[in-house]
Homo-oligomer: A and B are copies of this chain.
């Protein structure tokens, strides 16, 4: 128990205290109403079973605390004209967020049908968790929300993402004590090591300990204040405790603590901004609020403890329709808020209470930062043609694709230096992924001490590196949701760490795209590099190309997957994805020196189509069809396919080969399944109607089958890809282990062209011998055979 909760005096005068308490009661009343009521929202008729929803869905336990915080944030916003958004970690406290945005008026502005009158109130309570209504969480439907919170763990990292480069913003972030047990949340506390008091806004974490999750006490809830004080001091915060259950001292304590916290934030920022930098990482304030779960709800139900216990988590009184005692208990509970003192005859919030909410865009439900598309400015982009790699003939040039991309990103970074609306995130891999040209124009942001020998660290950098894919992803989501742009580069295998965050963001986008009032936000762009085929040095744990399989399950409108085979196609793709909105774009591209295939002009044509025949590589006649189609998607598969074609053309010059390269994986799907999908006619014009197709694919081969199963004669597609074989070995050996190498590809073609296997038996034997020779060579020499390392497309020179 802290000092603040022991004393009855505080910053609130008696009237103000009474008003804020009644405001809280109004929010609690509407929250309970949403969970239970079909109608009769003001209880102006006697409550009957017909007023009760047949299915009671919702979460009460966290809600009164969320409402308490909302009311007090309203006060501090008004007192300071503060610019605040509210991130509700316990997003299942949706009734509270809806109640508060309704009370402040922002809800009815967006949903005029749910007006601030008796009729609107009836709609408000009925729609909650009701078919055709609104979901139970603080989803995209909820004004002021950038965080649904259904999956726990990401509240604080979203808050920081929102605060970066938003110097006037304070992000109040409520973290439930359940959420505080998760890994991503635990790591998020360290985000203060990356927040500049000069360029960024502030995050005010409010750890809301009500002590319980669904059926258990919580770890942090049962820790002592002394341990919590140490823990959060250790994380670099100045913790303030607000603890208790008696409303009057709790209001005083919360008001006093928020005054102190906002004062601290202002002082920290003023000092740093005056100096132009922070002389040390600031010790930002945070609040630890201990209040009872289900506060103000029923103490007991059927003789069992409810308030202050986990039984308050969801619907504290069940079976209300058919249990008269329960109905009476609900009636008493609802009436304990004295609704007639809160709403006037017409069902409007009493004017003295309505006056407590901020006005206009200062209302947290109307703050444009929580509808980032409103604030989004298009990113200034240089002309990507200027970064083109010269490709005098296919394969004639060697380049590192991501290094070329890095030059482009450097200038995107430079052109956004003033607007500060573009960041690059990565788990310590920006340089490793060869994007280090960006350090010519910005640094890695770093609020810890900086040594003389450190490399491109500064307090105002816009590259964010931390060894946590969760933080990279969450920061970027928060940054995009508040109207900015960004890029996340990651080792391909470890992007699976954020699978579930990706899922949730895709779901958010799917819902928000159907809400006209939510303006489009910039797409979430991934560069997956250090990919499966070139993790030969790190071994099996680093070899996993399966993220795109997850991506392909999401709604077609939301997701795109690009596999540019060289630097110029990667440039086009990078430029393209930075111009899109409300999508998730995944680019898979290598960082190693590799042959370049297309001039910039060719790359543009190829990428705009997303798929195409590489005529330079094939040897078909002008008329008729090839004997075999060699298809490829991904840089290494493209290289191996061209090498296989080289073998086939030399060994079997009569064989007519076509090469099809796929940049945009979604072209393979049927047109009716994905907007980028080829029509059947287009598909056949590329792949023929019935010729064998040997498809060398970057990832798990099943994905190609799943995308093409509807295509004519699908069974002629023979796909090779990663089949979960790997270790520390040579790059070419990785392809051999998985049967994606030039020899296997050439053998597959020979096997599948009718009649060829017999006539080409000698060629087949030579290919098998090559595989044996390779096997022996790498084990003897530890590197690939010279003929592999030195192979160039014969068109060269």
Contacts and interface: CB of A to CB of B under 8 A. Distances in A.
Interface string A690-734: 000000000010110110011000110000000010011110010
Contact of A136 (B130, B137, B444, B537): B537
Interface in A8-45: 38
Interface in A180-232: 181-190, 193, 213-219, 222-223, 227-232
A636 to B, nearest CB: 17
A236 interface: yes
Complex copy number for this chain: 2
Interface stretch (A363-371, A466-474, A475-483, A756-764): A466-474
B217 A150 contact: no
A401 to B, nearest CB: 20
B217 A193 contact: no
A61 to B, nearest CB: 13
A702 B710 contact: no
B187 A55 contact: no
Contact of A709 (B541, B554, B705): B705
Contacts of A299: none
Contacts of A136: 537-539, 728
B702 A706 contact: yes
Nearest to A186: B186
A223 B541 contact: no
Nearest to A194: B219
A787 interface: no
A38 B782 contact: yes
Contacts of A428: 178, 213-216
B553 A549 contact: yes
A377 interface: no
A144 interface: no
Contacts of A182: 183, 187, 467-468, 470
A546 interface: yes
A757 B218 CA distance: 58
A214 B178 contact: no
Interface stretch (A498-506, A585-593, A616-624): A498-506
Contact of A234 (B232, B470, B549, B550): B232
Nearest to A283: B227
A417 to B, nearest CB: 22
Contacts of A454: 217
Given A152-B467, A235-B231, A544-B503, A57 B549 contact: no
A432 interface: yes
B783 A183 contact: no
A313 to B, nearest CB: 10
Contacts of A92: 538
A493 interface: yes
Interface in A492-522: 493-494, 496-497, 499-500, 503-504, 507, 510-511
A542 interface: yes
A290 to B, nearest CB: 14
Contacts of A743: none
Interface string A370-384: 000000000000000
A233 interface: yes
Nearest to A703: B706
B219 A227 contact: no
A148 interface: yes
Contacts of A465: 215-216
A540 interface: yes
A579 interface: no
Nearest to A711: B715
Contacts of A152: 467
14 contacts: A55-B783, A57-B728, A139-B540, A150-B538, A150-B539, A183-B184, A215-B432, A218-B467, A228-B234, A497-B500, A499-B550, A507-B541, A510-B540, A705-B706
Interface of A: 38, 53-55, 57, 91-92, 129-137, 139, 148-153, 178-179, 181-190, 193, 213-219, 222-223, 227-236, 305, 309-310, 428-432, 444, 446, 448-449, 451, 453-455, 457, 465-468, 470-471, 493-494, 496-497, 499-500, 503-504, 507, 510-511, 537-542, 544, 546, 549-550, 552-555, 700, 702-703, 705-706, 709-710, 714-715, 724, 727-730, 733, 778-779, 781-783
Closest 10 CB pairs of A and B: A150-B541, A231-B234, A183-B183, A230-B234, A186-B186, A222-B448, A496-B500, A135-B539, A183-B187, A135-B728
